[in-house]
Amino acid sequence: MWLARQGSSALNDSNAAFLNITRSAKGQRWQARLQDQRLAQTIAEKHDLPEILGRVMAARGVGLDEVENYLNPTLRGLMPKPSALLDMEKGAARLAQAIIAQEKIGIISDYDVDGVSSAALLLRFLRAVGHDALVYLPDRLTEGYGPSEKAVSSLKEQGAELLLTLDCGVLSHDPLAHAAEIGFTTIIVDHHQAGVDLPKAFAVINPNRQDDVSGQGHLCACGVVMILIAATNKHLRELGHYKTNPEPNMLQWLDLVALATICDVVPLKGLNRAYVTQGLKVMARRDNLGISALCDVGGVKRKPDTYSLGFILGPRINAAGRVGHADEALALLTTQDKGDASALAQSLNDLNRHRQAVELRVVDEAIIQAEAALGQAKKPSVLVVAAESWHPGVVGLAASRLKDRYGIPSLVLAMNKAMQTSTGSGRSIIGVDLGHAVRAALEQGHIVKGGGHAMAAGLTLKTSNLGSFRQFMEETLSAKVDENRETSLLVDGALTAGGATLDLIELLEQAGPYGSSNPSPMFVFPAHKIIYADRAGTDHIRCTLVASDGTKLKAIAFRALGTELGELLLSERSHPIHVAGKLVADEWGAKRVPSLQIEDAAAMA
């Protein structure tokens, strides 16, 4: 049953706390997401849509004239002209020239999903047009992020003439100066925030350059690479390359772009919505043998969705760069051999299991440090924790866990005693630009290397500077953190267990894909009893809700064990409680059934 239109002021007054919940198990105030009821009604009436879709779109800032592109995002309607991005046409023309002249091309890319997918996309394009490239993916532990003089020299020694850096390079002044010295022509394809001064390169393609006004700063690197190969393809066509070579259909590679877009957690707006919507359709065809094999080992039985990409495929691809080497992930995404695909997928699955075990130990120890810091009289607004025993490959994941647990920006660093340096990653909350703060720390000498996005950053510092860096981050970000602490849970409406149907889930999917900046609908299930709850996996809690009419709904609360939310779910059996979460279609044996991913809960007043 859909309850959003009941007469209760707790449901309809946007200024009141939803169901009068001012402090939940997570310490959050529940607030109605929708602020403009009239817009929701107008969207529904003008576009002949169910009321709930109008509410979901209006609550996410979709204007009346944006509904069509929102519901049916297409590349034709949302792809910018390549000339809109600075240096894009210049870089594409040079890449086309290298392809025709059969110049040897070298690629340096990052070791995460976005970087590996970017390299795979460019490689697949080059091979489709009769060319190839040498690819250098740095080792996370021994080399760290971005191009190095070692990487540049290695590609040059192998005969490369044109160098492309993907998902990295915009802050790599010294390595790219070295590249120029030894004769490379360099094209940077990046999306990380850039400084005023750019590295020495033939073309710097980055919608987050300070002088780029394309409005495409929400793209991940793979999304930018897609525009580059489209522009390159046009140049090749104009130069007559396809008179003797078949022209590729580039839409076949949108599965890679969708994968990178979801896993890099960039905003699902504009072109990104088209990339993911169309990319999921391509992925469902299972044309990419590597992705298909990874779906098999990950248990993705039906058509993939954003959850599959972000929580099943992505972690397995990332595991290669975290506790192995990203070359395996690149091989998986580019292989044309079914046997190789199966073996590589299984290897990544095994690496992911190892990564999970390593991560849990780091998280447990990081929580101990965080609790000690937060227990001080003056609680920090930014968490910065570090230890020698921590694996550098999982510190970003640990930072994400701390950020989710405490609701403040968190940075986790692995100390290297021999090098007297510490390397780590940070994750931020909405409204607090961590990447900008890390770049400021670099400019002021608190760290030796660093950069990133608003929501995530990586850095290296001298361990002796850890205290001054912690103080700098606190002074730089504390005011913004106080303004943007995540103390509200935004709710889209209320349901009963009986209203949580597959039909509703499929209806809501029309307003997807959901992700960063387009959050999944959040529903509250008022006055439901927990009739079963138990630990699942390492730190999850699986439970069953039941409504007053006896209708049941299966649910799970991820990473809730040991939290106030987890204690409430595990202990309360006598009284109904309010439960908030996201609806998903779960595979239960051979059946597809509605399920709830619990985000929060609250005792009834």
C-beta separation of 434 from 457 below 8 A: yes
Kindly report each contact of residues 8-15 with a partner whose C-beta sits within 8 Å and lies 24 or more positions away, as own/partner.
11/493, 11/494, 12/37
Strand residue runs (E) in 430-522: 449-452, 456-462, 488-491, 493-494
Residue 52 pLDDT exceeds 60? yes
Structure token pair of residue 42? 């107008």
pLDDT at 1: 57
d(CA 294, CA 227): 26
d(CA 464, CA 14): 50
Of residues 3 and 315, which shows the higher confidence score?
315
Taking only the tens place, the pLDDT of each residue in 19-42 is 999 999 998 999 999 988 999 999
Between CA 520 and CA 172, with CA 192 as vertex, the angle to 5 degrees is 155
Residue 13 pLDDT exceeds 90? no
Q: Are strands 410-416 and 421-427 parallel, antiparallel or unpaired?
A: antiparallel
pLDDT at 11: 44
pTM: predicted TM-score of the whole model, two decimal places = 0.90
Calculate the average pLDDT of the chain: 93
Which CATH architecture best describes the domain 78-253?
Alpha-Beta Complex (3.90)
Q: Which residues contact 85 (CB under 8 A, 6 or more apart)?
A: 205, 207, 212, 214, 216, 224, 227
Dihedral angle computed from the Cα positions of residues 357, 358, 359 and 365, in that order, rounded to the nearest 10 degrees = 110
Secondary structure letter of residue 311 according to DSSP: I
Taking only the tens place, the pLDDT of each residue in 404-454 is 888 899 999 999 999 999 999 999 998 899 999 999 999 999 999 998 888
Ordered by start, the domain boundaries in the chain are: 9-33+492-603, 35-65, 78-253, 376-486
d(CA 139, CA 111): 8
Q: Which residues contact 93 (CB under 8 A, 6 or more apart)?
A: 235
Taking only the tens place, the pLDDT of each residue in 538-585 is 889 999 999 999 999 999 999 899 889 999 999 999 999 999 999 998
pLDDT at 538: 83
- Name the residue with tokens 């965080």: 370
Residues linked to residue 135 through DSSP beta bridges, in sequence order: 107
Taking only the tens place, the pLDDT of each residue in 276-311 is 999 999 999 999 999 999 999 999 988 899 999 999
Residue 4 pLDDT exceeds 50? no
- Cα separations (Å) of 102 from 91, 129, 133, 535? 16, 11, 10, 58
Taking only the tens place, the pLDDT of each residue in 115-167 is 999 999 999 999 999 999 999 999 988 898 899 999 999 999 999 999 999 99
What percent of the chain has pLDDT above 70?
A: 97
Residue 460 CB neighbour total at 10 angstroms: 19
CATH 2.40.50.140 fits 9-33+492-603, yes or no: yes
Q: Which CATH number, 3.40.50.10890, 3.30.420.40, 3.10.310.30, 3.90.79.10, labels domain 376-486?
A: 3.10.310.30
